[in-house]
């Protein structure tokens, strides 16, 4: 304990003993304690301060006006707080204030200062200021860290909720392109731009499918670099993040979006790339989050988001969001495939109905033109025989008509479906068809085959036979040739017709 200023007169041991005791108690209870004497002219003199203050802060207080000295090491922002404290004390109020001081080492320390003015009744004025301070620096640090954590948690919750709303919007979208467009629009509302690139099946190359940048600005940037963003290919060897992002499926955080763009445009000067990024509103200081788009064990591509407010702490939420985006894209793609398959099935159904109608018309025409004529001729012949005596009737003509009628019915039956195809299989049926086709059209069939000695599934044999039959029909009608070549071969899994 050190007396920095005090009464000139000596104090008796009886008077000093209580002071020592009280000061010792103050040092135990508080980090710093002090006594300031207020002179009649208003000058303030430090009578005593605990040694811990000097030891901690490196500040020595001499016999100067202590209030002026005290304000010299106050944090500039807290001087108004200290002045308000002194005004309260001088008004006779007890005061507890919190403020910052700067140590000799430049460290900022927080104090909670308790002060009380003591009046000298003999002199009829305020004569002393008794004070004690707690160093609450660690408490403030924890408090500020807690506030930051709470703020970050609130921001993260808001970020997660916002991404959840975006995910809900895109999940109900049945078209992959619309999924990406909706995603881009919704993220822009959050101050986040985005890019989606999808893998080309069977290749280690990504293709940019969507960029959420305003179209006019994007067009100007594309003109500047001489490339088009949508459809731009990113091969594996050109992008260092490919392995981490696509193969290992890691979410990546980067401080600078420019560092991602430069390797993708090796033929474009760096200054042009940077200028084009600034042109579309991308600041070099924007943070980026790159995410794999995966569904189970399948990697669809990547989602890149960038903006001024993204944090590395957003990675976990963003990775979950990327999974929802990937699922929405996969569902939309499957839905699109189902729609396309349904459209193809509808088209095939119409073609089938059309083919059936064509076949019905052909059969009806043959029945009318050929079978009908034969039957009419047979009827007329038999009617002529009604008036003739029995020994004058010659049935040879009628028999010839019946034979021709039976042959024509048999031909029609074979055209519709030869029984040989069901009984003997594809190879014998084709051999019979070729002979009959050449006899009817005088078009020679040159053909090669391999692997047809076995039986195939009935629907396969029927399909192959009909393909050959229809091809021959088209040749006879339209080709104006006397020769046609057919090649059929089969392996373990397929039957091929050429």
Q: Is the pTM of this model over 0.75?
A: no
Closest among 257, 245, 205, 207 to 229, alpha carbons compared: 207
pLDDT at 8: 35
DSSP string covering 390-425, please?
GGG---HHHHHHHHHHHHHHHHHHHHH--HHHHHT-
pLDDT at 22: 54
What is the C-alpha radius of gyration for the chain, rounded to an integer number of angstroms?
A: 49
Could you give the CA distance from residue 1 to residue 4 in angstroms, rounded to a whole number? Answer: 10
Q: In what order do the strands lie in the sheet with 125-135?
A: 44-49, 32-38, 125-135, 108-120, 95-102
- Element containing residue 248 per DSSP (H, E): none
Could you give the CA distance from residue 420 to residue 429 in angstroms, rounded to a whole number? Answer: 6
Tens of pLDDT, residue by residue, the chain (498 residues)? 333 333 333 344 444 555 555 556 655 556 788 888 888 887 778 888 888 888 878 777 765 567 777 778 888 888 888 888 777 777 777 778 888 888 888 888 898 888 888 888 888 888 888 888 888 888 888 988 888 888 777 877 777 777 777 777 777 777 888 888 888 888 888 888 888 888 888 888 888 888 888 888 888 888 888 888 888 888 888 778 888 888 888 888 887 777 777 777 777 888 888 888 887 777 777 788 888 988 888 888 889 888 888 888 888 888 888 888 888 888 888 888 888 888 888 888 888 777 777 777 777 777 766 777 777 777 777 777 777 776 666 677 777 777 777 777 766 666 666 777 777 888 888 888 888 888 888 888 888 888 888 888 888 888 888 888 888 888 888 878 888 898 888 888 888 888
Three-state secondary structure readout of 19-34 = HHHHHHHHHHHCCEEE
Pairing, β 108-120 against β 95-102: antiparallel
pLDDT at 29: 58
């Amino acid at each position: 304990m050190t007396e920095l200023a005090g009464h000139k007169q000596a104090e008796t041991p009886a008077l000093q003993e209580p002071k020592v005791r009280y000061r010792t108690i103050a040092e135990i209870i508080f980090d710093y304690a002090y006594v300031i004497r207020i002179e009649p002219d208003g000058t303030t003199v430090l009578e005593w301060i605990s040694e811990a203050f000097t030891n901690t802060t490196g500040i020595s207080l001499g016999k100067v006006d202590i209030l002026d000295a005290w304000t010299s090491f106050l944090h500039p922002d807290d001087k108004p707080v200290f002045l308000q404290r002194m005004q309260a004390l001088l008004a006779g109020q007890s005061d507890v204030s919190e403020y910052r001081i700067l140590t000799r080492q430049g460290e900022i320390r927080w104090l909670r200062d308790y002060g009380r003015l003591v009046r000298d009744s003999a002199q009829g004025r305020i004569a002393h200021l008794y004070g004690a301070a707690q160093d609450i620096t660690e408490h403030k640090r924890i408090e500020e860290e807690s506030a930051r954590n709470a703020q970050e948690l609130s921001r993260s919750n808001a970020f997660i909720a916002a991404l959840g709303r975006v995910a809900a919007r895109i999940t109900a979208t049945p078209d992959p392109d619309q999924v990406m467009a909706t995603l881009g629009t919704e993220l822009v509302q959050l101050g986040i731009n985005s890019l989606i690139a999808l893998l080309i099946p069977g290749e280690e190359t990504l293709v940019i499918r969507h960029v959420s940048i305003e179209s006019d600005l994007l067009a100007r940037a594309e003109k500047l670099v001489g490339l088009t963003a949508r459809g731009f290919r990113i091969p594996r060897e050109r992008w260092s993040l490919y392995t981490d992002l696509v193969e290992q499926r890691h979410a990546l955080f980067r401080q600078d979006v420019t560092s991602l763009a430069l390797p993708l445009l090796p033929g474009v000067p760096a200054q042009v790339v940077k200028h084009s990024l600034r042109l579309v509103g991308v600041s070099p200081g924007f943070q980026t989050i790159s995410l794999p788009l995966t569904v189970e064990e399948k990697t669809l591509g990547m989602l890149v988001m960038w903006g001024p407010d993204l944090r590395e702490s957003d990675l976990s939420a963003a990775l979950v969001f990327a999974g929802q985006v990937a699922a929405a894209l996969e569902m939309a793609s499957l839905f699109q495939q189902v729609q396309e398959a349904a459209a193809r099935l509808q088209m095939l159904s119409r073609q089938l109905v059309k083919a059936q109608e064509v076949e019905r018309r052909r059969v009806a025409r043959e029945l009318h033109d050929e079978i009908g004529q034969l039957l009419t001729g047979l009827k007329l012949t038999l009617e002529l025989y009604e008036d003739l005596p029995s020994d004058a009737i010659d049935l040879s003509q009628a028999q010839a008509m019946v034979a021709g009628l039976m042959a024509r019915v048999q031909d029609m039956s074979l055209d519709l479906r030869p029984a040989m195809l069901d009984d003997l299989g594809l190879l014998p049926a084709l051999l019979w068809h070729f002979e009959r086709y050449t006899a009817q059209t005088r078009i020679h069939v040159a053909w090669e085959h391999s692997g047809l000695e076995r039986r195939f599934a009935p629907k396969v044999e029927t399909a192959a036979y009909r393909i050959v039959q229809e091809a021959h029909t088209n040749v006879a009608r339209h080709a104006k040739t006397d020769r046609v070549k057919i090649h059929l071969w089969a392996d373990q899994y397929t039957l091929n017709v050429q």
